Structure 1
Amino acid sequence: MSARSPEHDAAEAVVAAAEAVGLEARTETDAAGLDVVVVLPDGSMMYLEVKPVSLVTAASAPGQARQWPDLRRQGAAGVIVADRITADGRDQLTRAGWNWLDLRGHLRLAGPGLLIDADVPAQVEQGPDRSGLVGRVGIELAVLLLLAPEKTVGVRDAAKALSRSPSAISDSFRALRAAGLVGTERKPAVPALFWELAAQWKPLSRDLATLPSPGPARDNAVLNLGFDDVESTTGWALSDTVAAAAYGAPVGMRADHPRDFYVPDQSTFRRAVQVLGSAVTATSRAGRVRLAPVSMVCDRRVDATGWASEEWPLADPLFVALDLAQDPGRGREILDGWTPRGRWRRVW
């Protein structure tokens, strides 16, 4: 495909795919924008408005579709064109009523008197169906990119920030690009990268029988809570439902809802369980402690005492959202209605 606009290239790809299944098709530009016009067997016209993306998964599809609630041309049908659409992503788009073209070689096109669901010639180089997040470095790099999605991050800058070798970072960038999760300027594909990361976000956790009191009490020093200069030190970070509520997410919860914390390392994790005790049952737990999958969870905490009634340092909204995303029902419903205020960017 050429180096013109992504919309133009996607439209040309749809035309080629439509012609491959025996339909007459062409691109058409007018005041409403660029469309693909397909001539149906009865001679009527079907207008398609193309939406190019890099990757579609079942998790990313709802968020991607919400970005285009209204089509420019009245009566036009939407068609998503992607370098890769996973099998469950295809199902999600089909159930939502979207047409789609997977550039690896499959077209679905539905309209009055028309149903095409067929293999077509591939228009991208075939490759392994991989997530693009390879190993711990891949997860760390994904987090770094999603924390500042508007920035272009260079290989050496990322290597320095993550204390990794430039070669390891370069390899991770290459894998992310191959999966369509970063663009040519090394900016993350949002929300696709978030949902791929969420699928691999599986921190070690333990339910606790009791919780420490918030604040810099001397007894809390053994647990490394980190209440001194919260935003420039490392320590415990409140996450999940209670933190989401502090950020203004549409969360309904009781005042005594159990709290979920990230801790920075294995020794703190073990010490917390030893000192605070393990909950006998899930219903009796006072809270939960989680081992941070990446150091940035506990290195980049947020002091909310100036704008929320919350004494505990908060995890960045990215990590709170990753926790919520683990619940395919209630958690994702909360994410659908939550856009963090202030300096944070929504990436889900």
Structure 2
Amino acid sequence: MFGIDRPPNILDDREMRSPDEDEAIVRLADAVAPIGLTVVVPSSSDGEPVVPDAYLRLPDGHTLPLDIKRVSLLSSKELPNFVRNATTPAERSHAVPIVVASRITEDARAGLSRAGWSWLDLRGQLHLSAPGLFVHTNVVPAHDAPRGADPFAGRVGIEVAALMLLDPDKPARIRKLAQEVGRAPSSVSAAVSGMRAAGLVGVDNLPAIPELFWELASAWKPEAVDVAQIPTDDQSVNDALRVNRDDLARSGWALSDTHAAAAYGAPIAARADSPLDFYVQDPRVLRRAAKLLGTARSRADRAATLRAAPLGFVCHHRVGQGGSWPLADPLFVALDLAQDPGRGREVLDLWSPPRGHRRVW
């Protein structure tokens, strides 16, 4: 097998490993060979499991022991449990932990790196970090890895994924989605095809739950600004900023994140005087708000954080709450909570949205 040094009795030792472990070793070997590294598979003569899984031989001849894990998809949702449950046993404590996955979301990659893990995303990215070694590079994608362009590289994919998650029991219809997001059917078709190739949309055109949500959460990075005050009773300012607090029939500002989650009954505390989080219609409103309301001197001084809605639905379809600020749909509140890898993810684990809204996380 290219890139692997095998002892004569390696076939006997392969029986001591699971198929997933053996496959992961082969995948890693194929990925590192073109950059001058070699995976060396140890052998065992006493019938005991091989420890470590493999060695990484560097160009100078030194080797590093590897503890290799194989998963299909790793998102930030699964990351805490993965890292906790994949703790290496005492005899492997000196080994370099590395996960080989068909797909690793962007924020999960960052989380793995922070946790001291190396990783190989079979779509074509490798991160190796160990004493005396640091590699972060593109590699040749595995032949059966998810293909095609990243479906979330552009705004269309984000819009389409959000609409599919808003109604996850209905198959995607290209022309209907294109009409709702105001995009060309060909662009929407390409986005859906990319999601299907990535295993995020099934052959039945239904979204994969919760995988599509967590992939969308990784790409959910709306433009934002911290402002020094929120709109009050000045009608001219409210009109200029299209606030429309009391008119749900029109597009307007939508409360999100912590305060909205608390209003929906999520297990999260929100102090009445803590800063608010709103979605506004578009970047033009965002810039106008920064000018009229002033930008906060620091994050701690902000009265609110405003985010430009990545799609019109966010501000067109708000949920009223009896005279208080209208709420964003629970999906967008959940996407905001998902940006917090600590408390936000814990809240999502315990929160189901109110009746009439599907839990997709």
TM-score under structure 2 length normalisation: 0.63
Structure 2: stretches of 5+ with no match in the other structure:
1-11, 19-46, 49-70, 83-99, 116-120, 124-141
Question: Does residue 1:192 correspond to 2:211, yes or no?
Answer: yes
Within 5 Å, give how 1:270-281 maps onto structure 2: 270-281=287-298
Tell me how far 1:242 sits from its aligned partner. 0.6
Asked if 2 retains the 8 angstrom alpha-carbon contact of 1:243 and 1:314, the reply is yes
- Aligned equivalent of 1:22, options 7, 12, 15: 15
Tell me how far 1:226 sits from its aligned partner. 1.6
Asked if 2 retains the 8 angstrom alpha-carbon contact of 1:130 and 1:179, the reply is no
- Aligned equivalent of 1:245, options 262, 265, 275: 262
CA RMSD of aligned residues (A): 3.5
Alignment CA distance shift 1:127-1:345 (3 Å) = closer
Question: Does residue 1:202 correspond to 2:221, yes or no?
Answer: yes
TM-score under structure 1 length normalisation: 0.65
Asked if 2 retains the 8 angstrom alpha-carbon contact of 1:236 and 1:263, the reply is yes
Which residue of 1 is the match for residue 275 of structure 2?
258
Which residue of 2 is the match for residue 328 of structure 1?
341
Asked if 2 retains the 8 angstrom alpha-carbon contact of 1:300 and 1:315, the reply is yes
Question: Does residue 1:59 correspond to 2:79, yes or no?
Answer: no
Within 5 Å, give how 1:81-96 maps onto structure 2: 84-86=102-104
AA at the equivalent of 2:359: R
- List structure 1 segments (4+ residues) > 6 angstroms apart after TM superposition: 62-65
Alignment CA distance shift 1:346-1:62 (3 Å) = farther
Alignment CA distance shift 1:186-1:60 (3 Å) = farther
* Greater alpha carbon shift after TM alignment, 263-272 vs 216-225: 216-225
Percent identity between the aligned chains? Answer: 45
Tell me how far 1:252 sits from its aligned partner. 1.5
Tell me how far 1:317 sits from its aligned partner. 0.8
Query: Could you list the per-position Cα deviations for residues 138-174 of structure 1 after superposition, in whole angstroms to 9, with x for gaps in the alignment?
Result: 1111001111111112111111111111111111111
AA at the equivalent of 2:304: G
Aligned equivalents of 2:164, 2:13: Cα separation in 1: 38
Alignment CA distance shift 1:334-1:313 (3 Å) = same
Query: Could you list the per-position Cα deviations for residues 114-157 of structure 1 after superposition, in whole angstroms to 9, with x for gaps in the alignment?
Result: xxxxxxxxx98344497532311111110011111111121111
Tell me how far 1:62 sits from its aligned partner. 6.3
Asked if 1 retains the 8 angstrom alpha-carbon contact of 2:146 and 2:199, the reply is no
AA at the equivalent of 1:262: Y
Aligned equivalents of 1:328, 1:23: Cα separation in 2: 36
Asked if 2 retains the 8 angstrom alpha-carbon contact of 1:83 and 1:124, the reply is no
Instruction: Find the residue that maps to 2:102 and give its secondary structure.
Output: strand
Within 5 Å, give how 1:297-336 maps onto structure 2: 297-305=314-322, 311-336=324-349
Aligned equivalents of 1:325, 1:311: Cα separation in 2: 24
Within 5 Å, give how 1:1-348 maps onto structure 2: 21-22=14-15, 56-61=73-78, 84-86=102-104, 125-128=144-147, 131-213=150-232, 217=235, 219-230=237-248, 232-305=249-322, 311-348=324-361
Name the count of aligned residue pairs.
Answer: 257
AA at the equivalent of 1:223: L
Instruction: Find the residue that maps to 1:318 and give its secondary structure.
Output: helix
Structure 1: stretches of 5+ with no match in the other structure:
1-18, 26-40, 43-53, 66-81, 96-101, 105-122
Tell me how far 1:296 sits from its aligned partner. 1.6
Instruction: Find the residue that maps to 1:206 and give its secondary structure.
Output: strand
AA at the equivalent of 1:339: S
Asked if 2 retains the 8 angstrom alpha-carbon contact of 1:145 and 1:153, the reply is yes
Aligned equivalents of 1:273, 1:127: Cα separation in 2: 41
Alignment CA distance shift 1:126-1:279 (3 Å) = closer
Aligned equivalents of 1:129, 1:61: Cα separation in 2: 24
AA at the equivalent of 1:162: V
Tell me how far 1:264 sits from its aligned partner. 0.5
Alignment CA distance shift 1:295-1:63 (3 Å) = farther
Alignment CA distance shift 1:279-1:83 (3 Å) = closer
Alignment CA distance shift 1:150-1:135 (3 Å) = same
Alignment CA distance shift 1:165-1:282 (3 Å) = same
Aligned equivalents of 2:176, 2:148: Cα separation in 1: 29
Query: Could you list the per-position Cα deviations for residues 48-93 of structure 1 after superposition, in whole angstroms to 9, with x for gaps in the alignment?
Result: xxxxxx952232426999xxxxxxxxxxxxxxxx99343968x98x
Aligned equivalents of 1:294, 1:158: Cα separation in 2: 12
AA at the equivalent of 2:169: E
Answer 1 or 2: higher relative contact order, Cα 8 Å, separation at least 6.
1
AA at the equivalent of 1:211: I
Alignment CA distance shift 1:276-1:332 (3 Å) = same
Tell me how far 1:21 sits from its aligned partner. 4.0
Aligned equivalents of 2:262, 2:287: Cα separation in 1: 28
